[in-house]
Amino acid sequence: MARRMASLRDLPELLDALDPQAELVQRHLWLIALFEWLRGDCRSVPATLARIQLLLDAVQARPELQARVQAWWQALVDIIDGSTLLADYGFSSRSAFVSEFAERLYQKLLPGTPETTDASALFSLVLGHAFDAQWLAALDETTLERLAVLLQPAQPAQDDYLRPAPSPWQDTVLEALTFCTSQVRATGFSPELRLRMSAPAREAGPFHALDRDFDALRDAYLASPAQDSAERQAALQQLRERLEACRSAAASVYTHLDAHGISVNLVFQLRQLRERVLRIRALLDCLLSGNPLTSTTRLLAQLVTVGQERRSVRALIASNSSMLAAKVAERSSETGEHYITRNWAQYRDMLRDSAGGGAVMSIGTLVKFMVFSLSLSVFWSGFFAGLNYALCFVFIQFMHWTVATKQPAMTAPAMAVKLKDLSAPGAVDVFVTEVTHLVRSQVAAVVGNQALVAPCVLLISFALWQFTGEHMLNAVEATHVLDSLTLLGPTALFAAFTGVLLFASSIIAGWVENWFVLHRMDSSLRYNPRITAALGTERAARWAHFMRENISGLAGNISLGFMLGLTPAFATFFGLGLEVRHVTLSTGQLAAASATLGLEVLHLPVFWWCIAGLVVTSVLNVGVSYYLAFRLALRAHNVSGVDRSRIRSAIWARWRSMPLSFFWPVKAAVQQETVNG
């Protein structure tokens, strides 16, 4: 109550400070202060509405104050162009996503100034709080009429022989409509959109007639602003239909993008066009609806919300990258299906493929220690280590083998798709069965990798000792490896961070594949005259097919390899001391250290802490990567409202009844899965 009384005592001071003849910046500062008083503590809409009533009562009780308010308002509208606010507020002046991203960062970091004639800049300072949209939407018609009378006094009656003229507000709305329709038309004519529209949409040409339809409505309106007419209604209906045709034509571009690759810039332009069409509809309501005051207030509330979104970098990324995320998730889910084993034959294949991957990683372990033995600078050691990892991963890809930690980012989207509809009978049991398959597949991949990487490293180290008299590592290096891999150190943190890198590599793979498809690089490789002249027609076709089939895997494997190698180097530069812990590579390193120290290593407690560290590393590598990919896939596929407790109960029931089914295809599990299927 005391706070409320204090705010009431501030009102007379605000009203006394109103000076229509003050400098522009002082008038704007007074307006900002008035709205700060109106919104109060931003907790109660009724309290703000009560303050508005108090303001109106105070002004209307003093004729000289009412005259000052009207003079102040007239000075404001004479300098500030409201049409730019109505037409452009919330929209980007740039057509590129990156430019808009930079602009939002600029607005977020740098403060605005009230010394401006830009209506949009002033609006963001006056109505820059999300709470403003709430109390604006709650204004009743009586209050709106009182505000209109206060700000716009009644105009003198016009002679009957004079053509009726629109009010300044109506002129402003008409001007804003002109700007908006021109923007929609220009966007529709841009080659990026026009070339990707469906053939029927291009042939219909809805953007060609948009200006003509708007001109017809404007002429019909200016003929009698105060009275409706059949011509005006017909023109309004025609314009609304034309706007819907423009929106549908632009929406046809999404079909092309889905089939031929996603462009974030194009998605940004399409969203801008759609919002422009919605703004035109709102402006038409402000001009032609039966209750223009309510429509205007609703538009102002929308502008407040749009202004909040306009300053949000996160909202920009989320809204314009959702299609790309969906495309990446869709591609990953298709690939992920190949990594899920459902029977003994597939389980054996997974063990074989992962064993092959483990054997290759043993060579990678040897090369890594050779690189670090050269005592290069931190960057070049990381670079060549990353190159080593990348070559190993690419070789594994071409041999159709697998590395366990690369699977979660692919299998998670495949699982997310199955959560779209759990209402069907038996859907939860089917999903739990897929979870069983997934866990079993991951166990097989991890076991296969570790089963061969450790023996192969031991064999390599023994061969080196036989031929050179030295192991892969000396005693000091072996002790350092044990100290770095122990669970008692930061191994868990590094393993979780490596899971983030594994997820990031899958995103890079999806983005590169989308870029390859969007820019039709396979067609360029196949048919470009310069390329066919250099390679020949048949070889160019083979290269195009090869790149189209393998671009995603190459991008993911190469990016992962260099991230694993260079991340510690960059972390060292910034003094972070951050390292990576990849379970297969760590197992190879531990095997190399054990070969150097001999059987005595089994008596060292640190060795067993390293074994525990490998278990934790495998869980965190897989778990973090899977979690991030799963969350992305859920958002991309718009999966919400999942009954997590129901799923957890079903998984726990399966664990109690058939725990072995999570590790290998036991006969009972196969029979039950056949029945469920």
In whole angstroms, what is the distance from residue 217 CA to residue 235 CA?
5
> What is the tally of helices (H) and strands (E) in the chain?
30, 0
Closest CA to 403 of 345, 346, 455, 364: 364
Note whether 267 and 358 are same-domain residues. no
Residues 6 or more apart whose Cβ sits within 8 Å of residue 261: 327, 514, 515, 516, 517, 518, 519
In whole angstroms, what is the distance from residue 435 CA to residue 448 CA?
20
Tokens of 114: 């009230």
**Average pLDDT estimate for 260-266:** 78
**Rounded to 5 degrees, what angle do the CA atoms 497, 503, 504 make?**
90
One-letter amino acid at 449 equals N
Tokens of 438: 């997934």
Confidence of residue 480 (pLDDT cuts 50, 70, 90): very high
- The three-state secondary structure class of 160 is coil
pLDDT, tens digit (0-9, with 9 covering 90-100), for 9-45? 578 888 988 999 999 999 999 999 999 999 888 889 9
Q: How many domains, in total, are found in the chain?
A: 2
Query: pLDDT value at position 677?
Result: 47
Note whether 493 and 604 are same-domain residues. yes
Tokens of 321: 């990258």
Note whether 341 and 431 are same-domain residues. yes
In total, the chain counts a number of residues equal to 677
In whole angstroms, what is the distance from residue 484 CA to residue 579 CA?
10
Provide the 10 A C-beta neighbour count for residue 348: 13
Provide the 10 A C-beta neighbour count for residue 452: 22
Domain region containing 89: 82-119+164-311
User: Which CA distances in Å does 636 have to 41, 259, 323, 328, 427?
Assistant: 37, 16, 7, 9, 21
* Boundary of a domain, candidates 248, 277, 311: 311
Angle formed by the axes of helices 491-518 and 605-636, nearest 10°: 40
In whole angstroms, what is the distance from residue 149 CA to residue 128 CA?
25
Confidence of residue 335 (pLDDT cuts 50, 70, 90): low
Confidence of residue 453 (pLDDT cuts 50, 70, 90): very high
The answer to whether residue 26 sits within a structural domain is no
The answer to whether residue 41 sits within a structural domain is no
Query: pLDDT value at position 668?
Result: 45
pLDDT greater than 70 at residue 326: no
Instruction: Decide: 617 and 446 in contact? Cβ < 8 Å.
Output: no
Instruction: Decide: 339 and 441 in contact? Cβ < 8 Å.
Output: yes
The answer to whether residue 562 sits within a structural domain is yes
User: Which CA distances in Å does 318 have to 90, 268, 310?
Assistant: 16, 11, 13
* Boundary of a domain, candidates 246, 281, 311: 311
Query: pLDDT value at position 380?
Result: 94
One-letter amino acid at 552 equals S
pLDDT, tens digit (0-9, with 9 covering 90-100), for 565-582? 999 999 988 888 889 999
Residues 6 or more apart whose Cβ sits within 8 Å of residue 206: 188, 242, 245, 246, 248, 249
- Model confidence, pTM: 0.72
- The three-state secondary structure class of 268 is helix
Note whether 471 and 563 are same-domain residues. yes
Note whether 191 and 101 are same-domain residues. yes
- Mean of the per-residue pLDDT values of the chain: 86
pLDDT, tens digit (0-9, with 9 covering 90-100), for 498-516? 999 998 898 888 888 888 8
H runs (alpha helix) in 261-312? 264-288, 292-310
CATH of residue 605's domain is 1.20.1080.10
H or E element that contains 384: helix 378-398
Instruction: Decide: 650 and 525 in contact? Cβ < 8 Å.
Output: no
**Average pLDDT estimate for 278-287:** 94
Tokens of 432: 């739990």
Least confident of 627-631, 634-638, 644-648, 665-669: 665-669
Which DSSP letter does residue 105 get?
A: H
Note whether 250 and 357 are same-domain residues. no
Note whether 372 and 471 are same-domain residues. yes
Which of 603 and 661 is assigned the larger pLDDT?
Answer: 603
Confidence of residue 404 (pLDDT cuts 50, 70, 90): confident
pLDDT greater than 70 at residue 394: yes
Q: What percent of the chain has pLDDT over 90?
A: 49
User: 574-587 burial, b if ≥16 CB within 10 A, otherwise e?
Assistant: eeeeebbbbbbbbb
Note whether 252 and 338 are same-domain residues. no
Provide the Cα torsion 342, 345, 350, 353; round to 10°.
Answer: -150
Closest CA to 91 of 280, 251, 243: 280
Pick the most confident of 143-147, 257-261, 318-322: 143-147
Note whether 224 and 292 are same-domain residues. yes
Instruction: Decide: 505 and 559 in contact? Cβ < 8 Å.
Output: yes
In whole angstroms, what is the distance from residue 91 CA to residue 273 CA?
10
In whole angstroms, what is the distance from residue 203 CA to residue 477 CA?
72
Query: pLDDT value at position 6?
Result: 38
- The dihedral built from the CA positions of residue 123, 128, 130 and 135, taken in this order, carries a sign that is negative
The answer to whether residue 451 sits within a structural domain is yes
Note whether 230 and 368 are same-domain residues. no
Instruction: Decide: 544 and 525 in contact? Cβ < 8 Å.
Output: yes
- The three-state secondary structure class of 316 is helix
User: Which CA distances in Å does 623 have to 451, 497, 649?
Assistant: 21, 11, 20
Query: pLDDT value at position 674?
Result: 46
The answer to whether residue 474 sits within a structural domain is yes
Q: Tell me which residue has tokens 């390293």.
A: 610
Residues 6 or more apart whose Cβ sits within 8 Å of residue 569: 378, 379, 381, 382, 383
Query: pLDDT value at position 501?
Result: 94
In whole angstroms, what is the distance from residue 531 CA to residue 533 CA?
5
The answer to whether residue 183 sits within a structural domain is yes
Query: pLDDT value at position 636?
Result: 67
Closest CA to 249 of 203, 294, 286: 203
pLDDT greater than 50 at residue 5: no
* Boundary of a domain, candidates 263, 278, 311: 311
Note whether 183 and 238 are same-domain residues. yes
pLDDT greater than 60 at residue 154: no
pLDDT greater than 70 at residue 322: no
The DSSP string of 582-611 is -HHHHHHHHHHHHHHHGGGGGG-HHHHHHH
The answer to whether residue 299 sits within a structural domain is yes
The answer to whether residue 220 sits within a structural domain is yes
pLDDT, tens digit (0-9, with 9 covering 90-100), for 188-244? 998 888 888 988 988 888 999 999 999 999 999 988 887 888 899 999 999 999 999
Confidence of residue 310 (pLDDT cuts 50, 70, 90): confident
Query: pLDDT value at position 330?
Result: 64
Note whether 288 and 340 are same-domain residues. no
Which of 167 and 31 is assigned the larger pLDDT?
Answer: 31
